[in-house]
């Protein structure tokens, strides 16, 4: 199944300043989330973010936060009980997910979205955990549960569909 840009929403989970130094390859995860959100902006794809307990863990990395249309503060690990589904744009059933920690908040949110009937793609190179083993096991579990595991580059080219897309050159510059 192909993801369609007109049906997609990008969801970035907990890319928080205080959390990222503890994440294995944390700066790479941040960079990939920025790339994804920038591409989403070029293609008019809504981008939402969450922040886990922001009064304690602080806000998302500013460069990520600035690329998001809305940021939802949450207290559950799974963002759905804190109102995520109500924030998702109507008519967009394809949810592309990146963020942290892969095996906790990101995974629980993705699983709930699948249970709610959304089609979910998890962007492996835009996810992170403190421990890589936890991340890898979570990606396996998500795949077994119906999420499609993809990369930033896969998402970019799938959203555009062809090399004559008006944003092709700009997107290509971002991922090369």
Domain parsing of the chain, residue ranges = 5-175
44: part of which helix (H) or strand (E)?
none
127: part of which helix (H) or strand (E)?
strand 119-128
- pLDDT, tens digit only, all 176 positions of the chain: 899 999 999 999 999 999 999 999 999 999 999 999 999 999 999 999 999 999 999 999 999 999 999 999 999 999 999 999 999 999 999 999 999 999 999 999 999 999 999 999 999 999 999 999 999 999 999 999 999 999 999 999 999 999 999 999 999 999 88
40: part of which helix (H) or strand (E)?
helix 26-42
Q: Confirm whether pTM is higher than 0.95.
A: yes
Q: What is the CATH number of domain 5-175?
A: 3.40.50.850
Contacts of 93 (CB under 8 A, 6+ apart): 7, 117, 118, 119
How many CA within 13 A on the CB side of residue 78? 13
């Amino acid at each position: 199944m192909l993801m369609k840009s007109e049906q997609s929403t990008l969801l970035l989970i907990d890319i928080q300043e205080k959390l990222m130094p503890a994440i294995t390859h944390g700066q790479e995860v941040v960079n990939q989330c920025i790339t994804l959100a920038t591409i989403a902006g070029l293609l008019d794809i809504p981008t939402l973010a969450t922040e886990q307990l922001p009064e304690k863990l602080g806000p998302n990395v500013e460069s990520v936060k600035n690329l998001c249309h809305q940021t939802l503060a949450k207290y559950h690990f799974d963002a759905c009980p804190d109102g995520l589904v109500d924030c998702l744009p109507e008519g967009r059933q394809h949810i592309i997910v990146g963020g942290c920690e892969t095996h906790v908040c990101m995974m629980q949110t993705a699983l709930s979205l699948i249970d709610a009937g959304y089609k979910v793609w998890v962007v492996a190179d835009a996810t992170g955990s403190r421990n890589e083993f936890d991340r890898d096991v979570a990606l396996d579990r998500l795949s077994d549960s119906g999420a499609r595991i993809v990369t930033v580059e896969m998402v970019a080219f799938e959203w555009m569909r062809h090399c004559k897309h008006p944003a092709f050159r700009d997107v290509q510059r971002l991922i090369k």
